Amino acid sequence: MGLQQQLDEQKRSTIKKASPETLKTMGQATADLKASGIENRAVAKGDHIPDFALPDSRGNEVRLSEALSRGPVVLSIYRGGWCPYCNLEIRALTAILPEIKALNASLIAMAPELPEKVQEMEERHTPGFTILSDAGNRVSRQLGLVFSLPESIRTIYAGFGIDLPAYNGDEKFELPLPATYVISQNGEISYSFVDADYTRRLEPEAIIQALNGLTN
């Protein structure tokens, strides 16, 4: 089963559990976010991604340029370990890690969470690749991906038991759009996927195809 099929199953499960009012509010929030044009403001194919350094779950600094010195980089930005769609994506990325490594590339993921929450994600999935803490959305903001969660959605998330301040370490209620970038060694984005609909993610096969395109 492909990743999007799994995501669609998760969405159907959510629909069964949520009230019509909740579903309407969440759907409107996604539509409003798309209408804001944020997808078009994010860095995209052909742009050069700014270098950055962020801590991993153990506080070790990881710099993008150092990873690029060894080969292409797949950068995955997700919302957080509390998001079931993000968990499905991390699991799918873990499955293709051997193929990514075989193409002399590396995989880096990041979320706007505190390092200890990143560590929980790693313990849940043992992904085998680096996950970084972008607390405060410092890097995601540079990439044009950050938005503020509407008050209506904050209330719904609280009802779901999702405590964003506890995960992110602040009261800003800011999240990044989920995004995947394939970055060539010169720092240029050769493939980009950004979607304001958090229930949609890039199929892993597209990542492998993009990496193959760099080596052909």
Joined together, the tokens standing for residue 185 give 């060694």
Return d(Cα 101, Cα 216) in angstroms, integer. 16
The predicted pLDDT at position 216 comes to 59
CATH no. for 3-10+20-215: 3.40.30.10
Burial label for 27, CB within 10 Å (0-12, 13-18, 19+), is exposed
The predicted pLDDT at position 159 comes to 93
**Helices in 103-185 by DSSP H: which ranges?**
115-125, 138-142, 151-159, 164-168
Q: How many H helices and E strands in the chain?
A: 10, 9
Task: Determine if residue 5 is left, alpha or beta; phi over 0 gives left, psi from -120 to 50 gives alpha, anything else beta.
Answer: alpha
Q: Note down pLDDT in tens along the chain; length 216 residues.
A: 899 999 999 999 999 999 999 999 999 999 999 999 999 999 999 999 999 999 999 999 999 999 999 999 999 999 999 999 999 999 999 999 999 999 999 999 999 999 999 999 999 999 899 999 999 999 999 999 999 999 999 999 999 999 999 999 999 999 999 999 999 999 999 999 999 999 999 999 999 999 999 865
Yes or no: say if 112 and 136 are a contact pair by the CB < 8 Å rule.
Answer: yes
The predicted pLDDT at position 210 comes to 97
Yes or no: say if 55 and 62 are a contact pair by the CB < 8 Å rule.
Answer: yes
Return d(Cα 189, Cα 187) in angstroms, integer. 6
- Please name the residues in contact with 99: beta carbons below 8 A apart, sequence gap of 6 or more: 208
Query: What b/e string do you get for 156-181 counting C-beta neighbours within 10 Å, with b at 16 or more?
Result: bbeeeeeebeebbbeeebbbbbbbbb
Beta strand spans in 27-72 (E)? 53-55, 61-63
pTM summary value: 0.96
The predicted pLDDT at position 1 comes to 82
